[in-house]
């Protein structure tokens, strides 16, 4: 039996919703549409306008295979190899954390503190796909950005994304742990979305998190090990008046502000995410 494009989406949506009681019908349909659009090399609007078109056998088989992997919990971003962030689509692989919309809050806060009328040096720690570094480079064309990641696989993805976005000449991706690749260098702003989940958090064994690199998610018994290091060492890498901005868990705002205070930062504050929960803490290095 040959299914139409629309029927294939409806069938897959129902199967995805039934496979995961926490996935509502809207999310299940979005997943199915993204997977079929990927198989066909079209966008989701095309699926709507061609809902009555027949789906050929080869495409149907590829679609069914991807749907089964999604039913098993594999993230859509890994299945289609990309995720939208800021103004562009980024390559995503299992070597990288999947960019989240909440991280755009960090980008917005950074941009609010970056002038557009002079050269800047910016640092993105734990860059992953390069999401933060590339967004900042895209919005501040006079800025040079260093993006650091410990994972060679993630660094390779970030380099490819820099070419994809068209800012490779201003974004240098270096491999290494946190500040080690920038010893002796100072920046106007440092941004980071580091691991911040507790090592024993049960969510690490659920949903998309099961498939993402644990090294990019978990950081010690309280989730603050990497944040402690970043906040402690950042002043030595900031120019006078420079800013540090970090993403963290929604229950960690008080603890992270205390780290900033202990490190001597001024103008310390925490900004909420899309749901109004503590998500980004920032501070200025004394001038």
pLDDT for 195-248, tens place per residue? 988 888 888 888 788 888 888 888 889 999 999 999 999 999 999 999 999 999
| Average pLDDT value for residue range 91-119 | 95
Q: Give CB contacts under 8 A, 24+ apart, made by 233-236.
A: 233/178, 233/179, 234/179, 234/190, 234/263, 234/285, 235/263, 235/264, 235/265, 235/285, 236/179
Residue 1 pLDDT grade (very low, low, confident, very high; cuts 50, 70, 90): low
Domains of the chain: 5-73 (1.10.8), 88-284 (3.40.50.150)
User: Roughly how many angstroms between the first and final C-alpha of the chain, as a whole number?
Assistant: 71
Q: Give residues with Cβ within 8 angstroms of 126, minimum separation 6.
A: 148, 149, 150, 178, 192, 193, 194, 195, 216, 226
Condensed to tens digits (0 to 9), the pLDDT of residues 40-83 reads 999 999 999 999 999 999 999 999 999 999 998 899 999 999 99
For the beta sheet containing 266-272, the strands, ordered from the edge strand earlier in sequence to the opposite edge, are 171-175, 143-149, 120-125, 187-192, 238-247, 278-284, 266-272
SS3 of residue 175 by DSSP: strand
**What DSSP letter does each residue of 229-241 carry, written as one string?**
HHHHHGGGGEEEE
Single pTM value for the model: 0.91
d(CA 25, CA 39): 21
E-assigned strands of 136-212? 143-149, 171-175, 187-192
């Amino acid at each position: 039996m040959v299914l139409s494009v629309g029927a294939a989406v409806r069938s897959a949506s129902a199967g995805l919703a039934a496979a995961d009681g926490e996935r509502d019908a809207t999310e299940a349909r979005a997943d199915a549409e993204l997977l079929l659009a990927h198989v066909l090399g079209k966008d989701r609007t095309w699926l709507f306008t061609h809902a009555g078109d027949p789906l050929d056998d080869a495409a149907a088989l590829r679609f069914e295979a991807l749907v089964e992997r999604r039913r098993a919990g594999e993230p859509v971003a890994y299945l289609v190899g990309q995720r939208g962030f800021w103004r562009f689509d980024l390559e995503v692989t299992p070597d990288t954390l999947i960019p989240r919309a909440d991280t755009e809050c960090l980008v917005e806060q950074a941009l609010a503190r970056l002038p557009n009328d002079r050269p800047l040096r910016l640092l993105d720690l734990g860059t992953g796909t390069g999401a933060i570094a590339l967004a900042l480079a895209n919005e501040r064309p006079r800025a040079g950005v260093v993006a650091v990641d410990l994972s060679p696989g993630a660094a390779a993805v970030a380099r490819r994304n820099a070419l994809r976005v068209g800012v490779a000449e201003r974004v240098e991706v270096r491999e290494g742990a946190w500040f080690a690749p920038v010893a002796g260098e100072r920046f106007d702003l440092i941004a980071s979305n580091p691991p911040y989940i507790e090592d024993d958090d049960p969510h690490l064994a659920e949903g998309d998190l099961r498939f993402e690199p644990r090294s990019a998610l978990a950081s010690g018994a309280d989730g603050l090990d990497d944040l402690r290091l970043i906040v402690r060492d950042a002043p030595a890498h900031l120019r006078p008046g420079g800013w540090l901005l970090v993403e963290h868990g929604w229950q960690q705002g008080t603890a992270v502000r205390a780290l900033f205070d202990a490190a001597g930062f001024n103008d310390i504050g925490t900004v909420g995410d899309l749901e109004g929960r503590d998500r980004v803490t920032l501070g200025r290095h004394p001038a």
